[in-house]
Amino acid sequence: MDNFELTKVAGAVLAALLLIFGAKTVIEMRSESRSVVVGYALPGAEPAAAAESADKAAAESKDTAAVGKTAEAGAPADGKADAASAPAADAPAAEGGADVVALLAKASADNGKGAFSKCKSCHVVEKGKASTVGPNLWGVVNRPKGSYEGFKYSEAMKAKGGEWTFENLSAFLRNPKGYVAGTKMVFAGIKDPTEEADVIAYLATLADTPVPLPK
């Protein structure tokens, strides 16, 4: 092989190398140009967001402080809630039934007898008859509580004490468990004052000498 041919071979190899490395360089340049992010972050954006958060936190702190001062200003000096603004507590069961007693002057024993039919499943009213589920109610008005012979009263009823006055009968018939906590009476009570007055008027007749109603 003469010098001319060697020169041609060397030139071909050099051209091939230039083609290979030139193509690689072009490809890398294109890849780098595609990965470049256009634009830039605005300076001071993060500090501005931080300042906004700080302002918001300060505003919330002021609101909380204002609410605390308002609540403190509305509370009495001794720290107790104002009785006028506090919700009223549930009143205990009344020991008397003066509102129903006031209706007895116009109460109807006949109507009361009809209303008493709902009580017959537990009580008898004939003189001398043995008690059933509940005590015999013959002569119940002004009778001592828990005293009918032969009936097993609850300890709560025996401990209640006193007599079955009109007021006490009214309080018991309105809310048995509220008047005697622990009573065996399962009846929920008579909620209509007029009906309750009529029943009491009927009970007053269940005696050798009926108990006169208040005028």
**More confident: 128 or 45:** 128
Domains, in order of start, for the chain = 98-204 (1.10.760.10)
Q: Which amino acid is at 168?
A: N
Indicate the average pLDDT of the chain: 76
What does DSSP assign to residue 84?
A: T
Q: How far apart are CA 121 and CA 133, in angstroms?
A: 8
Region 153-177 average pLDDT: 95
Considering the chain, what percentage of its residues have pLDDT values greater than 90? 53
Q: What is the pLDDT of residues 113-155, one digit of tens each?
A: 999 999 999 999 999 999 999 999 999 999 999 999 999 999 9
Torsion angle of alpha carbons 49, 55, 58, 60, nearest 10°?
Answer: -80
Token look-up 């294109």 returns 30
**More confident: 189 or 83:** 189
pLDDT winner (highest mean) among 63-67, 81-85, 119-123:
119-123
Residue 24: both structure tokens together: 């690689």
